[in-house]
């Protein structure tokens, strides 16, 4: 390498050892369960919970001997009492930065990203002393949205960067996120003056994003979020028939993860498109699919043919 390029940190291309991913879906579809299974194969996991109930998810409690929790909330954000105090977003940034020097944790979980957006929104509004841009007088109501986009981008990039060699100990990063439908077009006027006003989501489809499911984020950053992570996956809730111990069949709900994209529900993975559409809702299956370090390789089993005695 020439001396001219020596200061630019240029290295040969290499595969990733750690994964930064988002698991997105409606409430109660197994997001925290998937993230919790990461702790089962980690030395030490830090769960950054944005709501007290997130810290009590089943898998986090089952692995309490190897899981630590940092709770980030804005308890003093109370607009109805004229209190506009917010600190959770800035605390999160400080924590993300400190984790770059950390060598204790090999897994970081943010549960959940949707509430992290709300903390960021509080940070954008507190200087205006309002609960909503609609209450702003004499200022552009778009200002908080522009600030939100920049702050979210800063926070997400800091968190995702923990999976790279920029961190003293690179970590797997898992983020839970709720979903929403794209904003619909609106109709203005009536009769001959009727006009359809396209939403920003409608205009941006097939340009900034694909599918009919977006992460739940205020403003346009919801269309860009998936580009910040290695993988963006969606939960899937299926009703299946199983045979019980009593030999009777019954319907049960099964949580799975969508890993193959389609026009309605767009997902992304590093590497080629997998052959399977869904995987079981656990970290070991995702490791196997992506051939991540530490993945358990399942040995093929050969079924012996039964020989009928004559």
Q: Where are the alpha helices (DSSP H) in the chain?
A: 31-39, 58-62, 88-99, 113-125, 143-160, 200-204, 283-290
Q: What is the pLDDT of residue 61?
A: 94
Q: What is the pLDDT of residue 209?
A: 85
Q: What is the pLDDT of residue 173?
A: 97
pTM reported for the whole predicted model: 0.85
Query: Three-state SS for 103?
Result: coil
Query: Domains, the chain, ranges and CATH?
Result: 16-290 (3.40.50)
Looking up tokens 């269309």, which residue turns up?
Answer: 223
Q: What is the pLDDT of residue 66?
A: 94
Average pLDDT of each block of 10 consecutive residues along the chain (310 residues)?
67 75 94 94 95 90 94 91 91 97 96 94 89 77 87 96 93 95 83 81 87 90 92 90 80 90 92 90 92 57 42
Tokens of 227: 């580009």
**pLDDT digits 0-9 by tens, 186-232:** 888 777 778 888 888 888 888 888 889 999 998 888 999 999 999 99
Q: What is the pLDDT of residue 293?
A: 64
**pLDDT digits 0-9 by tens, 34-70:** 999 999 989 999 999 999 989 889 999 999 999 999 9
Q: What is the pLDDT of residue 200?
A: 87
Q: What is the pLDDT of residue 184?
A: 84
Q: What is the pLDDT of residue 267?
A: 94
Q: What is the pLDDT of residue 49?
A: 96
Spatial distance between the Cα atoms of 135 and 128, rounded to a whole number of angstroms:
9
Query: Three-state SS for 46?
Result: strand
Would you list the DSSP string of 79-107?
Answer: GGGTEE---HHHHHHHHHHHHTS--S-SE
Phi-psi region of 270 (alpha: psi -120 to 50; beta: other; left: phi over 0): beta
Q: How many CA atoms lie within 13 A of 198 on its CB side?
A: 6
Spatial distance between the Cα atoms of 55 and 206, rounded to a whole number of angstroms:
37
């Amino acid at each position: 390498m020439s001396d001219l390029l020596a200061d630019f940190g240029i290295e040969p291309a290499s595969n990733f050892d750690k994964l930064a991913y988002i698991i997105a879906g409606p409430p109660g579809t197994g997001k925290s369960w998937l993230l919790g299974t990461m702790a089962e194969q980690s030395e030490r996991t830090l769960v950054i919970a944005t709501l007290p109930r997130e810290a009590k998810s089943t898998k986090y409690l089952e692995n309490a001997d190897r899981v630590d929790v940092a709770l980030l909330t804005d308890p003093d954000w109370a607009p109805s009492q004229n209190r506009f105090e917010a600190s959770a977003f800035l605390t999160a940034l400080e924590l993300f930065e400190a984790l770059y020097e950390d060598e204790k944790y090999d897994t970081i979980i943010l549960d959940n990203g949707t509430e992290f957006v709300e903390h960021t929104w509080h940070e954008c509004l507190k200087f205006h002393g309002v609960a909503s841009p609609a209450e702003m007088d004499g200022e552009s109501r778009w200002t908080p949205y522009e600030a939100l986009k920049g702050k979210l981008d800063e926070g997400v990039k800091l968190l995702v960067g923990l999976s790279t060699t920029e961190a003293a100990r690179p970590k797997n990063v898992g983020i839970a996120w709720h979903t929403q439908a794209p904003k619909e077009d609106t109709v203005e006027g009536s009769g001959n003056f009727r006009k359809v006003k396209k939403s920003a989501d409608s205009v941006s489809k097939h340009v900034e994003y694909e599918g009919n499911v977006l992460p739940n984020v205020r403003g346009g950053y919801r269309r860009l979020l998936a580009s910040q992570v290695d993988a963006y996956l969606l939960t899937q809730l299926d009703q299946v028939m199983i045979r019980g111990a009593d030999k009777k069949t019954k319907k049960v709900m099964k949580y799975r993860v969508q890993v193959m994209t389609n026009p309605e529900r767009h997902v992304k993975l590093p590497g080629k498109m997998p052959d399977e559409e869904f995987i079981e809702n656990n970290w070991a299956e995702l490791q196997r699919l992506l051939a991540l370090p530490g993945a358990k390789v399942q040995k093929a089993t050969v079924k012996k043919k039964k020989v009928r005695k004559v």
